[in-house]
Structure 1
């Protein structure tokens, strides 16, 4: 949904102003505007940035931070200096540890070379002994010299055993020598590592104390005049890092302080996109849930606001339509706007799972074998019993169930086919949004093929080879993927639009029946 027209005008002015900030060319940032009314009826707007801008909290013309600056200054400079001193202690200790670790690594490398050389010699010795034993066993004997030959073979075998034991003893002596050579270094490192651990624990404890003190400087009002600290709003959990520093809390705090009535709010990303993707210059996004959710739930108290949408309220009672059913499997066609499984709260209970439970009261197990996003339509597979459900899960994990989606994306895609391999994880501060993370993300692979092109859009067939949340949507939108958001995507699109739905549909589902072995293919063409 596009921002309010007044908020759009404010964003246009904001973007003209932020063009003067050079750092945004390489490090983009979220900004916000809040349209407000004064007591005399005059309309204007406030603007803010998330966190700091150019290394400072205060920029003329922008909302100041929420925290009590004077209270923070009474303890933070000294606390920051104390942490810097601890960091200096750690750095000095690391300077002592580094050469010892390098010396130990060099020693281990030399020892490895010695062990490898000795192993090669011992391997050659074993081959020689094996050849001698084999030759001895193959030598024919006569009755007259059986006793002498037997004694000779016994003596030879004993000598070979002695040589084998000698090699083993030599190996043990070398390992013991290596341990003896390593011990002085490892002993020093144990002492220094213990000392470092103690300093780290001291730093962690002091950081925790300072963080609690910082949190106490954040207090948020609402339209009813109720004041709550950030720790109270997130209790019993700990507030996440940066809670209270986003644009939305800053703007509401300033509006209440100046006795202004909030009318409309919008947040816009300005500057280069982050490495994780999901943000585009000039695109508007909702306030994050992780850092802002509890704060805004309180700060908006007492205001008359637009009601939140109740998803699924307009979905017909006979949805989802049945596509296939036998004694073990159910396939349905999920409409847009119906959750796959219940969300939090009674208003978000209506879902495919709840409706299937009502239709099939005798079904056991989790029922749904996979999920589709709320905004995605198409084929969903369910199992009527636990055994079948387990079989389907193993098939999904083995990637032997084929799924084909169809989607329209913004822009004209170059090339006709391709594969996207970008690891994904949830954005911990803004669930359910997913972000690209090459370090902590899980592997996500999507194959694509162009079906049709227009002057401004491309129709694609998408084949997810993994099943990550929002995989197709992120892979389409991310600049290292297609760089072309799916039309109607309210989470990952670059700009607001009036498209009534997300143009993404699970069109085809193919699998081998887990009980009969028959190959099944189901298809429900997209309506777009």
Structure 2
């Protein structure tokens, strides 16, 4: 392939692609098998990335390279130019080597980093405010006052506490004197004696008030002096928030996206109708919107797209070097809904019902619950667009009576799922799942050979809010997720394992299999964290729990068929 000037198109060698037919529709960006033309384009781009020397960016592939390690998502867009010649455009998400502009890659929709841009000027002001805040927080007088306040607060509490003990001791002594002199003194002498005790009590209270007021005034003075610093910091932070918000809003207005009909929409307009209400950070910086924008702007016809990861994965995510990935949902989906308007796009394969003619397999049934051997690709409960599910089929079987789902399996997971017939049974069995007294065993086929024979994975998980339904490993905000595992068979390129999940987090087994700190081996066919296959090779093989009526332990087992 050869690059023609500054058009950013890398043209295909005609002999290389002459046997490849063009797709009838554009790629559905959020779930796709790469078209052969995109595979050729990606191979060419990856060869460039492997051999280039111009990019001063550390992808984490060279141990000797300096700088922070930042892997990147790259994208290709196969296009036809105005003359009908085929080539591809390439882009990266975000910035690379601290810049938006690199000769091989299309420019951003809006370049916030151009010299003297409003964004850089605004950033300079915000950075200046940050420096002022840091200067105050490091100020010797400020920190000395805070230290003095802490020490004197402790000292005041100690002195006041000790004085309270003295007051109590004095009070007890006066009480003892009263008892001792009650029947000894004459009425006149007793009156003088009592008056003296009252004076002692009043003197004690006065001295206590003097001490308390002294400390109160001293600590208030210190607090007031500290507040002068902190009020200044708060004013600076308020100014920073307002400037940052205004800068972000100004930035959003600069990101204007085109579609096939050359209709324009700003980021703010696009995201105002979403659950976010406003664009999330870095919206508009992803590869596919950049590519489509350039294509529409320069009269190129989009044919197919693909994205892949290059470099080391972030610690929280599952990203494999050179592997294809869909466009992100949180930031890209609303933008691409506008950009692809009017274009014929492949159907979303997730909306296809692959199990419509499959008879549901009930392996146990009584008056309280049923146990179903769910096939892969059948939902546990109805989705937004696909109603067919274990729930919907059982509802028909039960004559319209609502099935009560006790727990769920991912659509791609096959195996045992329990569904109650009555509320009492549902409550009783579900409580066992919640208390983790149910024994569950899964079988999975992993995509590489695992050397260790058994172990336990403890990686906390949380939802990736901008890329649902993907999950993230998060040690700060994630929920505890623990999985025990054991190898049962090693093959040439795969390993079959048993999993015993000790918790029940979303995608727990898939994440613990694929993540670098887990087994670093995605489940075969896991199209979310690995690569697609004829199915996802994960099977819920074994369940053991207590029967809601007999209170006897019952066991169900269905071996995997792989």
Query: TM-score, with normalisation over the residues of structure 2?
Result: 0.78
Which residue, 64, 70, 82 being the options, matches 2:107? 64
Unaligned runs of 5+ residues in structure 2 are: 1-31, 61-68, 173-179, 184-200
Which aligned pairs between 1:98-109 and structure 2 lie closer than 5 A? Answer: 98-107=143-152
Q: 1:27 and 1:476 mapped to 2: Cα distance?
A: 23
Instruction: Tell me if 1:351 matches 2:389.
Output: yes
Superposed displacement of residue 177, structure 1: 7.7
Give me the CA root mean square deviation: 3.4
Q: Could you say if the C-alpha distance between residues 181 and 378 of structure 1 is closer, same or farther in structure 2, counting changes exceeding 3 Å?
A: farther
Q: 2:234 and 2:443 mapped to 1: Cα distance?
A: 54
**1:71-110 CA deviation, whole Å, 9 max, x = no partner?**
9965323322322232233223322454443444445666
Which residue, 23, 30, 47 being the options, matches 2:58? 23
Which residue, 278, 283, 290 being the options, matches 2:318? 278
Q: Could you say if the C-alpha distance between residues 86 and 69 of structure 1 is closer, same or farther in structure 2, counting changes exceeding 3 Å?
A: closer
Contact between 1:418 and 1:449, CA under 8 Å: does it hold in 2? yes
Contact between 1:372 and 1:380, CA under 8 Å: does it hold in 2? yes
Q: Could you say if the C-alpha distance between residues 443 and 285 of structure 1 is closer, same or farther in structure 2, counting changes exceeding 3 Å?
A: same
Contact between 2:100 and 2:111, CA under 8 Å: does it hold in 1? no
Superposed displacement of residue 275, structure 1: 1.0
Contact between 2:113 and 2:119, CA under 8 Å: does it hold in 1? no
Contact between 2:76 and 2:88, CA under 8 Å: does it hold in 1? yes
Match of 1:482 in 2: 519
Q: Secondary structure at the match of 1:349?
A: coil
Unaligned runs of 5+ residues in structure 1 are: 130-147, 152-164
Q: Could you say if the C-alpha distance between residues 273 and 369 of structure 1 is closer, same or farther in structure 2, counting changes exceeding 3 Å?
A: same
Match of 2:286 in 1: 246
Contact between 2:429 and 2:545, CA under 8 Å: does it hold in 1? no
Superposed displacement of residue 389, structure 1: 3.0
Q: Secondary structure at the match of 1:280?
A: coil
Contact between 2:545 and 2:554, CA under 8 Å: does it hold in 1? yes
Contact between 2:356 and 2:388, CA under 8 Å: does it hold in 1? no
Match of 1:509 in 2: 543
Which aligned pairs between 1:458-477 and structure 2 lie closer than 5 A? Answer: 458-477=495-514
The number of aligned residues is 486
Match of 2:558 in 1: 524
**1:444-481 CA deviation, whole Å, 9 max, x = no partner?**
10000111111211100001111111110010011110
Q: 2:396 and 2:209 mapped to 1: Cα distance?
A: 70
**1:201-259 CA deviation, whole Å, 9 max, x = no partner?**
22222211111111111111111222211111111311111111000000010111111
Match of 2:295 in 1: 255
Contact between 1:312 and 1:337, CA under 8 Å: does it hold in 2? no
Contact between 1:312 and 1:338, CA under 8 Å: does it hold in 2? no
The structure with the largest helix share of the pair is 1
Contact between 1:312 and 1:350, CA under 8 Å: does it hold in 2? no
Instruction: Tell me if 1:211 matches 2:248.
Output: yes
Which aligned pairs between 1:118-129 and structure 2 lie closer than 5 A? Answer: none
Q: 1:184 and 1:355 mapped to 2: Cα distance?
A: 73
Instruction: Tell me if 1:193 matches 2:233.
Output: no
Q: Could you say if the C-alpha distance between residues 224 and 369 of structure 1 is closer, same or farther in structure 2, counting changes exceeding 3 Å?
A: same
**1:161-188 CA deviation, whole Å, 9 max, x = no partner?**
xxxx9xx999999988876664433333
Match of 2:475 in 1: 438
Q: Could you say if the C-alpha distance between residues 348 and 104 of structure 1 is closer, same or farther in structure 2, counting changes exceeding 3 Å?
A: farther
Q: Secondary structure at the match of 1:269?
A: strand
Which aligned pairs between 1:279-428 and structure 2 lie closer than 5 A? Answer: 279-311=319-351, 313-317=353-357, 319-344=359-384, 347-360=385-398, 363=401, 367-428=404-465
Q: Secondary structure at the match of 1:24?
A: coil
Q: 1:466 and 1:2 mapped to 2: Cα distance?
A: 33
Which aligned pairs between 1:24-63 and structure 2 lie closer than 5 A? Answer: 24-25=59-60, 26-63=69-106
Q: Secondary structure at the match of 1:520?
A: strand
Superposed displacement of residue 289, structure 1: 0.1
Which residue, 173, 179, 184 being the options, matches 2:221? 184
